Each structure stands twice: as C-alpha cells, then as structure tokens.
Amino acid sequence: MDQDIKIDSRDLLNAQTAKIAWEELQKHFARGVVIKVAPELDLVQVAAQVIADDKAQVEAWMASGQVANADDDDARTWVASQPMFWAVVVAPWVLVQPITE
C-alpha cells in the first residue's frame, strides 16, 4: 500500500535542532549568518516562519528586538561566558537561542 507521508516542517525543524557551543558557532558569526532569537520565543516556530517567508511576523519580531542579527557586542559577551545554544539552520541563516538553566 502506498501512503502519502506528510512531514510537518515544524517536526523536521525540531529534529534538526541541536545544541552548539559558542566555539563552534564562531565561524558562522564570522560569516554574518547568526540570528539570535529571544528566549521567550519558540526557536522552531521562528524557523518555520522564516521558511514560510512570513515577512510580517519576522519583521514584527525584528522590530521588537526578539529576533536580530548577532552583533559584535553579542560575540564579546559569548566569548566571555562561553554559553551553549540551541541552533537550527535555515539556510543561509543559523538561528540560535542561548540555553538558560
């Protein structure tokens, strides 16, 4: 029997989400492709909206500062604190969220 298997993009993104150390993230930061996502947002949901090209939602998050390009101040903080991140790639971007405990 043939069955159509529908894979939810959120499930796929969730499966591709991984922990990454700042040391491993530095090369992506150097390329200018690291996007930081505020801890109050769902990283997978943000990635799904980027993939869906939901410009209105992404722009709203950016306007509020909840989604932003990582900058040199972020890098200095991360070098000092060596945090771990949850990360998901939405080419060409790497969306990250510091892991808070």
82 lies in a domain? yes
C-alpha 92: how far from its chain's center? 11
State the pTM of this model. Answer: 0.86
Show Cβ contacts of residue 23 under 8 Å, excluding neighbours closer than 6 positions: 82
In three-state secondary structure terms, 66 is coil
92 lies in a domain? yes
Contact 66, 40 (CB under 8 A): yes
Across the chain, what does the average pLDDT equal?
89
Tally of structural domains, the chain: 1
pLDDT one-digit tens code per residue, 34-50: 999 999 999 999 999 99
pLDDT one-digit tens code per residue, 67-80: 999 999 999 999 99
56 lies in a domain? yes
d(CA 32, CA 71): 9
Domain that holds residue 45: 9-98
